[in-house]
Amino acid sequence: MSFYDQNRPFGAPIGIPVGVPEAPPVDGLSWADAAYLMRIHKQGFHPPAHMRGMSLAQLEAKAREETREAREAEEARQSAARIANAPKAIERALLDGPSSKRALPAQRGWRLRVRYLNQARRGNTLREAAARVGIDESTARRWRIKYPKFAAHLATIVEERHRQNADDLKLRAGEPRSRAVFFRGKQIGEQVMHDDRALMFLLKLEDGQRARAEAREERREQRAHEIRLKEMEIEARRETKAISKTPASDVHPVALAEPESPAPINDLPAVPADIAPPQVVEVASQAMTPSGPTGHLPRDGGGEESNSSPAHSAGEVPAKRAEGVMGTTLC
């Protein structure tokens, strides 16, 4: 705004925006009133000469110092009133019945443990959580020994916080670090450094964990295979023992006699079982004579063979002579 600004009201100081309300200058102004007016009007407030150049914080400090005696006097009056009314309050508490308002009991027991767990989940350390709840660290340690569920919840919180810190560390491991370079008080450059030692350490740690997990899984499978083989061996021994105790008649049952089949074999007629087989009887050889009784057989070549032989028994078949006169046959 120039000195000849037409929008500037008459008598308004130069350098103050038009939209900011202006407080009238006052001479007998207290520090509290000055702080109040400066808080409302800000740049539009014109303090007295002895207050010019002071900030709002300085004015508020002066106001507190100015009203300190009045505040102390008010606090003393209220304290005296409480002391004077104390016997009446005691008598009223003794004579009157219990108050209709239920007093909140002090948080002890499981409520206090729940508060401790909540503070441990929000805070950074267990010591800070104990201080926020108002207990000692030894109390929290005693709770962990005495109450297994409390110890389990606290262990879960610690494990979760450890996992969060590990994730943050993994995310920060690959980030570069920068350092500003100054010359004669002015920054002329920036040095960027990459430190991969933490990242390499984390990768090595993860590789070891993965290898150990694979080894554990392999050992578990091998152990399960050995257990299955042992069970199969025990089952085989049990079956062998059961077979050894079983009688031979149960193991090898006697086959029943099958009746003779009436079907022909090789196109031969079936032979009844009641027909006796023929018997072969050898007949003694007799001396051959040139002439014989009637009934003799003619002989070729000048010889005859006697046909006289003892009577054959019924059912007997004479055997054929293997040796004799050449050319002699029986009709």
Q: What is the mean pLDDT of residues 5-32?
A: 59
Non-local CB neighbours of 319 within 8 Å, separated by 6+ positions: 280, 281, 282, 283
HSE-up of residue 200 (Cα within 13 Å, Cβ side): 4
Q: Does residue 104 or residue 186 have the better pLDDT? A: 186
∠ CA 209-214-219, rounded to 5° = 125
204-258: per-residue pLDDT in tens?
A: 888 999 999 999 999 999 999 999 999 999 999 998 888 887 766 655 565 655 5
* Distance (Å, whole) CA 241 – CA 235: 10
pLDDT at 137 over 50: yes
Q: Does residue 299 or residue 188 have the better pLDDT? A: 188
Q: Report pLDDT for 261.
A: 56
Q: Report pLDDT for 288.
A: 52
Q: Report pLDDT for 82.
A: 80
Return the closest-CA partner of residue 128 out of 120, 117, 138.
120
| Lookup: tokens for 89 | 């309050």
Q: Does residue 231 or residue 5 have the better pLDDT? A: 231
pLDDT at 40 over 70: yes
Q: Report pLDDT for 305.
A: 46
Using a pLDDT cut of 70, give the percent of the chain over it. Answer: 60
| Lookup: tokens for 327 | 């050319």
157-215: per-residue pLDDT in tens?
A: 999 998 888 888 888 877 888 888 888 888 888 888 887 888 888 888 889 999 999 99
43-70: per-residue pLDDT in tens?
A: 778 788 778 788 888 888 888 888 888 8
Q: Report pLDDT for 117.
A: 93
